[in-house]
Amino acid sequence: MNGARAVILGLLLALLVALAEQGLVRLVGASGARDQPALILVLLLAAFLGVLTAVATRVLRLPGATAPTVLVLGWTLVPAALALVPSAATQAVGGNAALTSAEALSLAVATVAAAITLGVPSERG
């Protein structure tokens, strides 16, 4: 049952990551930042999203490899899968699996942030 729990929670986290990723890109777009400042904002927010994903993985007591996997699925597979569903609700998150260079860099930053966070020993209490 533990494997099924990890898969189900991982899929839910991937969906939340996809929603958060779209939200942070729209937030930066709404801020009016252009070019370099926009990329820096997206990278900072992506790192924060990676840390949040790693913390959620640790809190839910999921295997350590779940956080990077969730980030990659949330950035690539979930938007492509939701784009296939003909609904106005899913079109906000739906997209294709092809990443722009800024999105790929953001995903790499988020994954590294998650890996670093998971590498820090947890407090024993």
What is the per-residue pLDDT across 7-60, written as a single tens digit (0 to 9) for each?
Answer: 899 999 999 998 888 888 888 888 888 878 888 888 899 999 999 999 999 898
CB 58: neighbour CB atoms within 10 A?
Answer: 16
Chain segment 66-85, per-residue pLDDT in tens:
889 899 888 888 888 887 88
DSSP assigned state of 97: S
Say which DSSP state 1 is in.
Answer: -
Q: Which of 28, 29, 26, 75 is nearest to 50 (CA)?
A: 75
What is the domain partition of the chain in residue ranges? 2-119
Rounded alpha-carbon distances, angstroms, from residue 96 to 18, 75, 81, 100:
12, 10, 8, 11
